[in-house]
A and B are shown apart, each in its own frame.
Chain A
Amino acid sequence: MTNAGAIEVQVPLVIDVKDLVRDYMLGQVPVHVLKGISFQIARGEFVSIMGPSGSGKSTLMNILGCLDKPTSGRYALDGVNVSELNRDQLAQIRNRKIGFVFQQFNLLSRTSAVENVELPLMYTNTPARERRERAMKALLAVGLAGREEHQPSQLSGGQQQRVAIARALVNDPKIILADEPTGALDSRISMEIMAIFQRLNRQDGITMIVVTHDPDVASYSGRLIRVKDGRLHADEPNAEPRDAQHDLEQTPADPEAQTAAA
C-alpha cells in the first residue's frame, strides 16, 4: 500500500471517484446498485475489477466510461469533473479520452475491419486520408495487417475482438475500459488479448481497466479491485503481474492443448 501511495503523489490521477452512488428506479422502488465507492487510478496503471455477478461492475464501468452518470458522488476524469457535463460534452470526452472494448465486440456488420476502426474518427475533424492511415496503424498494432477489408462475419472471435481493440486505440485514448473482453473467447485467445493490453499499457502508457471473472486474466494486471454488493471489497496491488507474451510463448498452440485448456 505504501507503494501505491507513493505513485499517487508522483503521477497525475486519471480517475478519481468519491462516494459513487448509483440507484435505479424499478417502478417506484429504488434499487441501490452502487452504494458509495471511492478509489483513484493513476496514469499508466493496469487495473482489474472482479466481483460476483450482479455486484455492479458493469454499472461502475458505464459511469467510468461516461456512458452513465452517478446518482450522487464525484467523478473526475483526467482532472475534469465529469458530473457537470451535458450529453454532447460527455460524447466528446468518450471520443477523445476513452476507448471501449466490449464482451460482444460490437462491430458494425457488413462493414470492413478498417472502416469499423475508423468509426471514432468519423466524429472528429480528421480528414479521410488521415483516418484511413491511423486505422491501418491501429490494425497493425493488434496484429491484423492484411485483414483490413474483411467484414466481421469473415473474422474469428479473437480477430473480431482485436478489431474492437484497434477501434478503441485509434483515437489515442487516455484509458481503455474493457468489460469482460475475454468473456466470449477461449483461454489462449484471452492470453493474446491480454498480451496486446499489456503492450499498450507498457509501451504507450495507456491506463487499462479490465472487468473480468477470470483470475488468470486478472493476474496480468498490476492492481486488483474487488467489488461486492455495490461496495469496494478489496483494493490490492499485484507486485508481480504475469507477462502475457511470455506465457503465450510457453503455451503450446496445438489444437489438443487448446481443447484441454477450454
Chain B
Amino acid sequence: MNQLVSSVRIALRALRVNRARSALTMLGIIIGVAAVIAMVGVGAGATARIQQQIQSIGSNLIMVLPGSISSNGVRLGSGAVASLTEDDAKAISAECSSVAAVVPAVRGGVQVVYGSNNWATTAQGVTPDYMTIRDASMLTGEFFTDEDVAAAAKTAVLGETVAQNLFGDSDPAGQVVIIKNVPFTVAGVLAPKGQSPSGQDQDDIILLPISTAKQKVLGANKANAKSVSSLMVQAVTPQAMDQAIQEMTGLLRERHRILPGQDDDFTVRNLTEVFAAQETSAQVMSILLGAIASVSLIVGGIGIMNIMLVSVTERTREIGLRLAVGARTRDIMSQFLVEAVTLSVLGGLVGIVLGLTASLLIAHFAQWSTQVSPLAVALAFLFSALVGIFFGFYPARKAAYLDPIDALRYE
C-alpha cells in the first residue's frame, strides 16, 4: 500500500514535468469516458421512458378485439365485425381462472362542450374495473361505480388533457359537460399517464359508464345491443399471460361456435409483448451508443500508449540508471504501468464529471430524460483503469527489458 502510494507520487511527478502533454493525453480518455457516460445515460433514459410507458398501459394487459387475421394473411378489419359482447366479458371473468379482471369497452370520437369551450376527444365506455386493469388513479374526485353502470348514470371521468382544455386550472369535479346534447356530471379527473408506447396521449380521453355510452353517446349496435369494441383483460400474474390467452381463446371459440379448423372471429393481443419489442430496440440503441462511445475510449488508450512510448524513449538514460542501481524488471515495469494507469484514471475521473454534466445538459436542453446509474459510472471508471493497464503494458515492458548499458549510453 505504502509502495503504491509512493509509486503514484513518483508517477504524478513524472506527469507534471510534461504538464501540457499529460493533459492532452488525458483528454482522449476524458472524452472517451464522458462520451460513454453521456451516451449510456441517454440510452438508459430512453429505455426507462419506454418501461414507464409500458407500466402506464397497465400490467399483464391483454386486449381482445373483434375480427381476425385470417390464415391466408388477409386481415378482416378488427372491429368491423361486431363479434364481442358484454356477455363474453362476463363469461371470461367467470370461467377463466388465469384472468383477474375483464373490462368491456366501447369507444368513439366525441365533441365535449363546457360553457364556451369545446374539445374533440375519444369517449370510452367502460366499467369501474378499468381503474385496476389500467393501474389508473384519480387526480380529483371519484371514479363512477357499478351502480352508475347499472343505472346508466350520466356521469363522466375526464383525462387530464381534456380537463385542462375545458376547465383550465379550475377543478372540474361536480361541473356539467355536454356530450352529444346530453349533460354529464364530471365525477373526477384521472391522474395523468402521459404518452403510450405507441405515442398517443393517454390523457386525451373521457370515460363514461359503458351502459350510458352505448345508449346516449355512441349509439348501440343495431344487430347486437350487447356488442363491444374491445375487451381489456388482466391476467393474474405476468407468468399467467399465455395461460389466460389460451383459456380465453378456447372459451370464445366455444361461445362463438367456431368449428375446429375455422379462423377465430376475434384477435387476442398481448400488449406487454408488443411493447417489449420496443423496449428491446431501445436497449439495443443504448448498447450501440455505448459501443460507439467506447471506441473513443480505445482511441484515448492508444493516445496513452503513444505518449508512454515517447516517454520511455525520452527517459532511456533514466531507465538505464535505475537498472544500474538495482531496479528489477518488475520495478521499471510497475513504474511505467502506474504512470499510464494514473493518466487514464485521472482522465477517467474528469471524464465522469464531464459525462454527468453532459447528460444533465442533454436532459435539460433536449428535453430527453437521461439516467446515469452508479453502475455505469463504476464501469466507466474501471474501464478507464483497464485501458491504462492494457495500453500501458507494451511501453512498460519495453522500458523494463532495456539493456542497462545501451540505456545508459543513449543520447
For the complex, give the distance between the alpha carbons of A55 and B112 in Å: 110
Cβ contacts under 8 Å, B331 to chain A: 122-123
The answer to whether A220 has its CB under 8 Å from any CB of chain B is no
**Which residues 96-133 in A have Cβ within 8 Å of B in the complex?**
96, 100, 102, 106, 108, 110, 119-120, 122-124, 128
> CB-CB < 8 A to B321: which residues of A?
106, 108, 119
Asked whether A240 is an interface residue with its Cβ less than 8 Å from the other chain, the reply is: no
A107 to B6: give the CA distance in the assembly, Å.
20
> Please, which residues of chain B bring their CB within 8 A of the CB of A128?
2, 6
- Asked if A62 CB lies within 8 Å of chain B CBs, one says yes
Interface of A is mostly: helix
Q: Is A88 an interface residue (CB 8 A)?
A: yes
Extra A-B contacts (17), CB below 8 Å, given A62-B405, A67-B324, A68-B405: A88-B328, A91-B329, A92-B326, A94-B324, A94-B326, A100-B324, A106-B317, A106-B320, A106-B321, A108-B318, A119-B322, A120-B326, A123-B325, A123-B326, A123-B328, A124-B326, A167-B325
Query: Is B17 positioned at the interface, with any CB of A under 8 Å from its CB?
Result: yes
Bound together, the chains give a CA A87 to CA B320 distance in angstroms of: 13
Chain A contacts with B in 17-74, Cβ cutoff 8 A: 62, 65, 67-68
- Decide: A106 near B408, CB < 8 A? Known: A119-B322, A128-B6: yes
Given the contacts A108-B318, A123-B328, A123-B331, A91 and B323 also touching, CB distance less than 8 Å: yes
A123 and B324 in contact, given A62-B405, A108-B318, A110-B17 (Cβ under 8 angstroms): no
B324 touches which of A65, A110, A122 (Cβ 8 Å): A65
Where the two chains meet, the residues of A that have a C-beta atom closer than 8 Å to any C-beta of B are 62, 65, 67-68, 87-88, 91-92, 94-96, 100, 102, 106, 108, 110, 119-120, 122-124, 128, 167, 171
Give complex CA distance A108, B335 in Å.
Answer: 15
Q: Which residues of B contact A102 (CB under 8 A)?
A: 408
Instruction: Identify which of B2, B320, B328 gathers the most chain A CB atoms within 10 Å of its CB.
Output: B328
The answer to whether B327 touches A91, judged by C-beta atoms less than 8 angstroms apart, is: yes
Rounded to whole Å, the gap between the CB of A85 and the closest CB of chain B is 12
Q: Looking across the interface, which residue of chain B has its beta carbon closest to that of A92? A: B326
**B347 contacts chain A at the CB level, 8 A cutoff:** no
Residues of A within 8 A of B17 (CB): 110
B400 nearest CB neighbor, chain A only: A87
For chain B, residues 395 to 411, give those with C-beta under 8 angstroms from any C-beta of chain A.
Answer: 404-405, 408
Which B residues touch A91, using CB under 8 A? 323, 326-329
Nearest CB of chain B from residue A104's CB, rounded to whole Å: 9
A119 touches B325 (CB 8 A): yes
Which A residue sits closest to B318, measured CB to CB? A108
Closest to B335 in A: A122
Quick check: B325 and A67 within 8 Å, CB to CB? Answer: no
27 A-B pairs in the complex with CB atoms less than 8 angstroms apart = A62-B405, A67-B405, A88-B328, A88-B330, A91-B323, A91-B328, A91-B329, A92-B328, A94-B324, A95-B325, A95-B326, A96-B326, A100-B324, A102-B408, A106-B317, A106-B324, A106-B408, A108-B318, A108-B321, A119-B325, A120-B325, A123-B322, A123-B326, A123-B327, A123-B328, A128-B2, A167-B325
A-side contacts of B318, CB under 8 Å: 108
Whole-angstrom distance between the alpha carbons of A110 and B330 in the complex?
Answer: 24
A30 to chain B, nearest CB (A): 18
Q: Which residues of B contact A88 (CB under 8 A)?
A: 328-330
Contacts of A123 in B (CB 8 A): 322, 325-328, 331
